[in-house]
């Protein structure tokens, strides 16, 4: 499943396609939305934002189109007169000035009033979105110290969208590696300095993945990995997808384990248990 940086980049593309323009046509596959389609005609698309792995398309009549791609959903951008060739099921189509944004295969879609967003069952459970909201290191640190989170293992906690929204499997492994923390560690086990460093690394790694299209590795390590013949799937990361390969930092062999029923990669030397 795409993580927060990939959804944010998709939101950017949609905003470039239809943002700031007035809708000429709106179509929904689901019956409960079909009756609301006309309420969007002649309405301007104000902004496209993300909340973790969900997308919010805001309109200037204070309405918001919420969607979550889950495993199979995908937005496709195209000329209005030339829909893409695909076997996927069309769920939403928004058209403005000859441009179209079409959502395929997703099932979690709603048209909401702005003031009802916080009551949406998925959005209400989310922590702050690092890429669409102004989230400070102090804010993330406060969440790590929150009683809901501070006694949970980091290997599980970093997948909890209630901590911060948008982290997923590859970001979890990369963040823990850069923080030098074993996945069994808990926020309560860390020193004040370690917790502050972790909060900053959570922000920095997520922003790097967004700005560099999913690349979280360091430039020098990327060149080293390319020279060694690693594929992009391997060299784009510091530890994720690199089980059996040497750690860029210390040379130890990267290991893989299952945490929370999902793959986690770590360096035994750089991320000791004790």
Per-residue pLDDT at 109: 96
Active site residue 58: no
Query: Of all helices (H) and strands (E), which one includes residue 56?
Result: strand 54-59
Per-residue pLDDT at 261: 87
Among 8, 53, 63, 91, the one annotated catalytic: 53
Beta-bridge mates of residue 79 = 99
* Strands across the sheet containing 99-104: 25-28, 90-96, 99-104, 74-79
- pLDDT reading at 1 higher than 80: no
Active site residue 262: yes
Across the range 262-274, mean pLDDT stands at 95
Per-residue pLDDT at 138: 97
What are the distances in angstroms from CA 94 to CA 17, 64, 76, 231? 10, 13, 11, 38
φ, ψ dihedrals at 72, nearest 5°: -120, -10
Active site residue 31: no
Among 32, 226, 262, 272, the one annotated catalytic: 262
State whether CATH 1.10.8.50 applies to domain 137-266: yes
Cα distance between residue 178 and residue 175, in whole Å: 5
Of all residues in the chain, the percent with pLDDT exceeding 90 is 95
Among 3, 15, 174, 241, the one annotated catalytic: 3
Cα distance between residue 182 and residue 121, in whole Å: 32
Active site residue 82: no
Cα distance between residue 140 and residue 58, in whole Å: 26
0.85 exceeded by pTM: yes
Q: Which listed CATH number (2.60.120.650, 3.40.1050.10, 3.20.190.10, 3.90.1170.50) goes with 4-125?
A: 3.20.190.10
Across 82-216, the runs of DSSP E, i.e. the strands, are 90-96, 99-104, 108-113
Whole-number average pLDDT of the chain: 96
Per-residue pLDDT at 274: 79
DSSP 8-state class, residue 44:
B
Q: Domain limits of the chain?
A: 4-125, 137-266
State the pairing for strand pair 45-51/63-68: unpaired
């Amino acid at each position: 499943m795409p993580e927060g940086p990939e959804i944010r980049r998709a939101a950017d593309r949609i905003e470039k396609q239809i943002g700031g323009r007035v809708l000429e046509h709106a179509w929904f596959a689901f019956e409960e939305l079909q009756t609301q389609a006309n309420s969007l005609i002649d309405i301007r698309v104000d902004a496209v934002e993300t909340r973790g792995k969900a997308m919010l398309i805001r309109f200037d009549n204070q309405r918001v189109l919420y969607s979550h791609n889950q495993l199979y959903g995908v937005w496709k951008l195209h000329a209005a007169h030339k829909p893409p060739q695909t076997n996927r099921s069309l769920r939403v189509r928004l058209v403005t000035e000859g441009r179209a944004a079409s959502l395929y295969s997703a099932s979690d879609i709603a048209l909401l009033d702005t003031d009802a967003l916080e009551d949406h069952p998925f959005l209400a459970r989310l922590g702050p979105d690092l890429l669409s909201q102004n989230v400070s290191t102090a804010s993330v640190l406060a969440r790590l110290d929150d009683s809901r989170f501070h006694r949970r293992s980091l290997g599980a906690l970093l997948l909890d969208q209630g901590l911060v929204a948008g982290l997923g499997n590859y970001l979890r492994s990369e963040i823990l590696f850069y923080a030098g923390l074993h996945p069994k560690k808990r926020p309560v086990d860390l020193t004040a300095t370690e917790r502050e460093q972790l909060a900053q690394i959570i922000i920095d790694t997520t922003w790097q993945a967004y700005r560099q299209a999913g690349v979280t590795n360091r430039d020098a390590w990327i060149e080293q990995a390319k020279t060694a013949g690693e594929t992009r799937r391997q060299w784009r990361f510091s530890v994720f997808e690199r089980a059996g390969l040497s750690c860029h930092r210390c040379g130890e062999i990267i290991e893989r384990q299952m945490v929370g029923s999902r793959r986690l990669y770590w360096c035994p030397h750089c991320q000791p248990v004790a």
